[in-house]
Structure 1
Amino acid sequence: MSADGPDRAGDGSVDATARVVDGAAATDEERQVEAALRPRRLAEFPGQQRVRDQLGLVLEAARRRQAPPDHVLLSGPPGLGKTTLAMIISAELEQPMRITSGPAIQHAGDLAAVLSSLVEGEVLFVDEIHRMARPAEELLYLAMEDFRVDVIVGKGPGATAIPLELPPFTVVGATTRAGLLPAPLRDRFGFTGHLDYYSTEDLQRILVRSAGLLEIEATRDGIYEIASRSRGTPRIANRLLRRVRDWAQVHGQHIVDHEAALAALELFDVDQQGLDRLDRAVLEALCKRFGGGPVGLGTLAVAVGEEPDTVETVAEPYLVREGYIVRTPRGRSASRTAWEHLGLTPPHPGVAQDQLPIGEQPGRLDH
């Protein structure tokens, strides 16, 4: 990294693909470790107290009725525990679990094959359910409500729909973008739980538990430093814990303390606010190259060498939540917090970019 910011290619773009906070390059071994750290029961699940209490009530009522619970929809940003909660639901009900994902179901026949093989009481977990193909969604409507699917036999005028009865089962859907779910599908879920970002205190409890499972000796200060930079996300916290452990082992230490956490997180470009290379690249592009904006998403993505979807779904949610970026009708603008974080002076002293009237804001059209 250069002294004035992220490394740039010859065309001025930023190499911001290697991110320790999103696990884009996570190995199979790391995924296995992450799976081993998942809580197995609802009582072990940290944080999300309201969702946990509501879900516990739904599951206990279903157990007392000796019937499958209503279908469950879990929404929220990545890494907050939606998959873990789905597995907990299966464990609490003592029922088998079938796992699939929205992108894997692109035809109604794909979904029909899965549904027809379910047993009574089984939990069907559909990750990223908002990305299912429309024909499959329409088939799922009927299956969730009436426990029935219509299998089409033949083609053309001679095609015949044969109804196939299904045993009662429970769909658990997970989505990072609940607004993209069509209303008919969303309305068929009897319980909807939204997961929020975790507090630093909750992340500390998670890291203490993870350190114990991984047999990592850690100090309270070291745990706090990792938790405070984890963006309110357990997945990121656990990943950073393993990277700090690696640093400590390589440097001849056998304990994750405050000094080890500081050195390792600096090595992996995670600053005190939890911003990493891509986050800072976005802020630098906004402030240094576009004068604070507003600038369109596509233009901003080109400036940092990423796809627009990556900037919008990976970097932007945290930057907007923490007040570094403001989304306006004409594009993304840098707030005063962003300028101050980069050690720069806003171009309009006393007036934040996001407070200018839309008609007075220079910049590019959003798209």
Structure 2
Amino acid sequence: MSVPDDHVTRLVGGDADQEERTVEAALRPRTLAEFVGQERLREQLSLVLDAARARGRSADHILLSGPPGLGKTTLAMIVAAEMGVPLRITSGPAIQHAGDLAAILSSVNEGDVLFFDEIHRMARPAEEILYTAMEDFRVDIVVGKGPGATAIPLELPHFTMVGATTRTGLLPGPLRDRFGFTGHLELYEPAELELVLRRSAGLLDLELKGEGTGEIAGRSRGTPRIANRLLRRVRDFAEVRGNGVITGDVARAALKVFAVDELGLDRLDRAVLTALCKSFGGGPVGLGTLAVAVGEERETVEEVAEPFLVRAGLLARTPRGRVATPAAWSHLGLAPPAQTAFGRGFDEPDLFSAADGA
């Protein structure tokens, strides 16, 4: 069963392009059976939901963790669809005051699924209200200030909280403990991404050849969201400069135009590696210095480029700063210097402080 559009309430709207959002929504699986990959997590979720339906009760609260783009929001929608109840969507950054959360909780109906994206970014005062709401289905509304303040308990209907986070370690222990089930989403293998792409191509009515599928899957960083985005850009190229059929040659030509190389590195990734190798001899170099060198904010380099570069074995984080690995030199077609950070002692003097490299 899928949740009709009018049963999905977005409590905090986004500013993404409406057309892109519509296409992404059309590609989302609607049931666990349609969801590709994450075999163990799908089996675990299926048991949790089947047991809740058999008891005629709301499912336990669910925490989903993992890198962006793997399907946490999609799984929250599937939970609501499988339970046959409305889905209400909000996000941690939007909840900055206890009153914000109290207003959302007071509008929840019996059995609803309440999805909190980026739950680790919720304000601490709001989290304290969430503890009793999740455990006792009650919110204490404080009326007045100072010695005359009074707490009025507000009973809540039973609901299922689904929290999504990319950084589980930032969640306070008491909040993590209130989730009855915690699932972690792993990065996808290329073969799984090919299944995702073939399904998406069918929904978009695209002719996608085998080699073209492999080219896109291999450059998608193990992430279905990126795979679907690249598929749409390759589709644009095939329709404008080809006959609409996505072959291996078409996919390679398209991804070259959109600056995505054979490992999935984009402009920012290559800029970071190039600056690290050419300007700083492979490092170590501090994050702040590296961000200035590529003309980006420190947070952008740390949160957007670094995670994939580290997973790909192209960059290492050390106590003294960022270091290019031998694979990074090879990927850029550069010859590493005779002595790199991997070959010299870390007690040697360096131009960059440990504080900058943290």
The answer to whether TM tops 0.5 is: yes
Q: C-alpha displacement at 1:210, in angstroms?
A: 0.4
Cα distance in 1 for residues equivalent to 2:210 and 2:252: 13
Matching of residues 264-279 of structure 1 within 5 Å: 264-279=254-269
Q: C-alpha displacement at 1:345, in angstroms?
A: 1.4
Q: 1:272 to 1:97 in 2, by over 3 A?
A: same
Name the SS of the counterpart of 1:316 in structure 2.
helix
Cα distance in 2 for residues equivalent to 1:148 and 1:165: 5
Cα distance in 2 for residues equivalent to 1:250 and 1:277: 23
Cα distance in 1 for residues equivalent to 2:134 and 2:235: 45
Q: 1:354 to 1:84 in 2, by over 3 A?
A: farther
Structure 2 unmatched ranges of 5 or more = 1-14
Q: Give the equivalent residue in structure 1 for 2:226.
A: 236
Q: Indicate if the aligned counterparts of 1:330 and 1:363 stay in contact, CA closer than 8 A.
A: no
Cα distance in 2 for residues equivalent to 1:362 and 1:336: 20
Cα distance in 1 for residues equivalent to 2:114 and 2:142: 23
Q: Give the equivalent residue in structure 2 for 1:110.
A: 100
Q: Give the equivalent residue in structure 1 for 2:179.
A: 189
Q: C-alpha displacement at 1:307, in angstroms?
A: 1.2
Cα distance in 2 for residues equivalent to 1:310 and 1:35: 26
| Equivalent residue for 2:249, pick from 220, 243, 259 | 259
Cα distance in 2 for residues equivalent to 1:103 and 1:127: 9
The letter of the residue matching 1:76 is G
Q: C-alpha displacement at 1:320, in angstroms?
A: 0.3
Q: Indicate if the aligned counterparts of 1:76 and 1:176 stay in contact, CA closer than 8 A.
A: yes
Range that drifts further, 288-297 or 38-47? 288-297
Deviations 1:110-166 (A, max 9, x none): 000011111111111000000000000111011111111000111222111001111
Q: Indicate if the aligned counterparts of 1:325 and 1:333 stay in contact, CA closer than 8 A.
A: yes
Tell whether 2:346 aligns with 1:358. yes
Q: C-alpha displacement at 1:362, in angstroms?
A: 3.2
Q: 1:26 to 1:337 in 2, by over 3 A?
A: farther
Deviations 1:43-88 (A, max 9, x none): 1100011111111111111111111111111111110000000000
Q: Give the equivalent residue in structure 2 for 1:168.
A: 158
Name the SS of the counterpart of 1:164 in structure 2.
strand
Cα distance in 2 for residues equivalent to 1:331 and 1:354: 12
Matching of residues 47-196 of structure 1 within 5 Å: 47-196=37-186
Q: Give the equivalent residue in structure 2 for 1:226.
A: 216
Cα-Cα RMSD:
1.3
Q: C-alpha displacement at 1:348, in angstroms?
A: 2.9
Deviations 1:189-226 (A, max 9, x none): 11111111101111001111100101111111111111
| Equivalent residue for 1:300, pick from 266, 290, 296 | 290
The letter of the residue matching 1:74 is L
The letter of the residue matching 1:155 is K
Q: Indicate if the aligned counterparts of 1:294 and 1:361 stay in contact, CA closer than 8 A.
A: no
Cα distance in 2 for residues equivalent to 1:182 and 1:303: 36
Q: 1:248 to 1:193 in 2, by over 3 A?
A: same
Q: Give the equivalent residue in structure 2 for 1:309.
A: 299
Q: Give the equivalent residue in structure 2 for 1:6.
A: none
Q: C-alpha displacement at 1:360, in angstroms?
A: 2.9
Tell whether 2:240 aligns with 1:250. yes
Q: Give the equivalent residue in structure 1 for 2:12.
A: none
Q: 1:240 to 1:362 in 2, by over 3 A?
A: same
Q: Give the equivalent residue in structure 1 for 2:189.
A: 199
Q: 1:197 to 1:161 in 2, by over 3 A?
A: same
Name the SS of the counterpart of 2:268 in structure 1.
helix
Q: 1:191 to 1:357 in 2, by over 3 A?
A: farther
Q: Indicate if the aligned counterparts of 1:294 and 1:363 stay in contact, CA closer than 8 A.
A: no
Cα distance in 1 for residues equivalent to 2:178 and 2:319: 33
Q: What is the TM-score when the length of structure 2 is the normalising length?
A: 0.93
Q: Which has the higher contact order (CA 8 A, sep 6+)?
A: 1
The letter of the residue matching 1:278 is L
Q: Indicate if the aligned counterparts of 1:73 and 1:192 stay in contact, CA closer than 8 A.
A: yes
Structure 1 unmatched ranges of 5 or more = 1-24
Q: 1:248 to 1:361 in 2, by over 3 A?
A: farther
Q: Give the equivalent residue in structure 2 for 1:14.
A: none
Range that drifts further, 246-255 or 330-339? 246-255
Q: What is the TM-score when the length of structure 1 is the normalising length?
A: 0.90
